[in-house]
């Protein structure tokens, strides 16, 4: 009897109320998910339409690297803000929306620039001919590897990326020169490949014989992690320790590199340009090729005192000191002053002012100019 009662109880517990067996009501049309937006939409004439759904916003603008201007975006009756601009020259650009004063990515675009704080989406405007940062069919491709490593000098885990050319896999006994390539203050170790397309640029240059096969190391330029202005001021010194004591020994022990100054180059952009110039010049016993792109070079007399003190007694003259800056770059005056300082100290160098502002289309072009100048045999 006890067993029968338990069985009956078990049977009743699985009986569903009649209300749960009724068919579910069809959701009201007002609750249906809105149609996904297309943004950015690149048209045949290379004009581009940007769209953002933000019905409660008061103002929306879009700005990008193609011209640096800010464009107002009118709102329609469905709460979608949009504008069309251009035509835009073929290239890869960063752009952002500003919504009621807040900068943000385009939520309809899955391509986002790697940054310390993601606020920039990626726009690709194709052309009839591939740009230097677009893969060319038939070109042998190199490899980009991500390394996690323990920085003993900084006491924490860090990351870097290493590009090896296609020849590295084929020529298994060959050793290669090495370029240390640094990013700007808003970026990280991924930006030079994911957005700067350095590996594609090098593949294309090497395939056409314009640049020699080389290994490229792209590090995280943010060595100081504190938000304190005083401690942030140690970033270049901290980064230098990490580079010299951790990064270079790691890379030059794991990869087949030619570990001498004639086969080492160093260059960076903006914050990274300051790092490459300060470290490269103060350690010209380690680097024979030094460059700076749109460099945030401030107080160079102090930062480069070690270099200037040994300039005319050194037995290690630079093979190349190359500096480039856009005519519309906000760092133009600092770079002009640095050029004048180098001239006054009789420092052999190349200083170039080009068209353009403080943006990635400019820095990609600079890499296509700088890389072919490297590791050229002495005449």
* 69-117 residue pLDDT tens: 999 999 999 999 999 999 999 999 999 999 999 999 999 999 999 887 7
Give yes or no: residues 174 and 240 share one domain.
yes
Rounded distance between C-alpha atoms, residue 240 and residue 296, angstroms: 16
pLDDT digits (tens, 9 = 90+) for 236-269: 999 999 999 999 999 999 999 999 999 999 999 9
Q: What is the structure's pLDDT at 372? A: 97
224-258 burial code (b ≥16 CB/10 A, e <16)? beeeeeeeeeebbebbbbbbeebbbebbbeebebb
- Strongest mean pLDDT among 113-122, 128-137, 349-358: 349-358
Give yes or no: residues 60 and 202 share one domain.
no
The answer to whether residue 15 sits within a structural domain is no
* Closest listed residue to residue 262, CA positions, set 356, 164, 176: 176
Q: What is the structure's pLDDT at 230? A: 56
Q: What is the structure's pLDDT at 11? A: 38
CATH of the domain at 95: 2.60.40.10
**What's the pLDDT band for 7 if we cut at 50, 70, 90?**
very low
Give yes or no: residues 79 and 173 share one domain.
no
3-class SS letters over 1-31: CHHHHHHHHHHHCCCCCHHHHCCCCCCCHHH
Give yes or no: residues 177 and 286 share one domain.
yes
Q: Are strands 264-268 and 215-219 parallel, antiparallel or unpaired?
A: unpaired
Q: What is the structure's pLDDT at 34? A: 76
Domain that residue 69 falls in: 33-125
Rounded to two decimals, what is the model's pTM? 0.84
pLDDT above 70: residue 329: yes
Count of the separate structural domains present in the chain: 2
Q: What is the structure's pLDDT at 225? A: 72
The answer to whether residue 98 sits within a structural domain is yes
Give yes or no: residues 240 and 356 share one domain.
yes
């Amino acid at each position: 009897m006890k067993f029968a009662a338990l069985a009956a109880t078990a049977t009743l517990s699985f009986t569903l109320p009649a209300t749960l067996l009724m068919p579910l009501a069809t959701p009201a049309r007002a609750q249906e998910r809105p149609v996904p937006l297309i943004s950015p939409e690149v048209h045949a004439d290379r004009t581009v339409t940007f769209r953002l759904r933000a019905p409660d916003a008061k103002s929306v603008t879009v700005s990008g690297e193609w011209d640096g201007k800010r464009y107002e975006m009118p709102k329609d009756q469905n709460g979608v803000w949009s504008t069309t601009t251009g035509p835009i020259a073929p290239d890869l650009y960063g752009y952002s929306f500003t919504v009621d004063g807040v900068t943000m990515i385009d939520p309809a675009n899955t391509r986002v620039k790697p940054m310390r704080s993601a606020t920039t989406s990626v726009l690709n405007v194709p052309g009839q001919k591939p740009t230097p940062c677009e893969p060319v069919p038939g070109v042998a491709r190199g490899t980009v590897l991500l390394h996690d490593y323990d920085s003993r000098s900084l006491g924490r885990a860090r990351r870097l990326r290493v590009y090896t050319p296609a020849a590295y896999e084929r020529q298994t006994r060959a050793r290669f020169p090495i370029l240390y390539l640094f990013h700007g203050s808003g970026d990280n170790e991924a930006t030079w490949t994911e957005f700067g397309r350095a590996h594609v640029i090098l593949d294309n240059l090497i395939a056409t014989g314009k640049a020699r096969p080389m290994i490229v190391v792209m590090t995280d330029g943010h060595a100081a992690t504190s938000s304190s202005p005083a401690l942030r001021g140690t970033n270049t010194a901290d980064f230098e320790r990490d580079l010299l004591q951790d990064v270079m020994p790691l890379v030059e022990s794991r990869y087949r590199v030619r570990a001498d100054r004639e086969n080492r180059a160093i260059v960076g952009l903006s914050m990274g340009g300051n790092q490459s110039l300060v470290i490269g010049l103060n350690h010209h016993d380690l680097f024979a090729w030094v460059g700076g792109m749109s460099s945030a070079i401030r107080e160079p007399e102090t930062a480069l005192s070690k270099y200037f003190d040994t300039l005319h007694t050194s037995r290690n003259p630079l093979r190349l000191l190359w500096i480039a800056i856009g005519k519309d770059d906000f760092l133009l005056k600092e770079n002009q002053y640095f050029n004048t300082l180098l001239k006054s100290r009789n420092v052999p160098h190349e200083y170039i002012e080009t068209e353009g502002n403080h943006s990635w289309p400019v820095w990609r072009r600079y890499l296509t100019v700088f890389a072919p100048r490297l590791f050229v045999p002495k005449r």
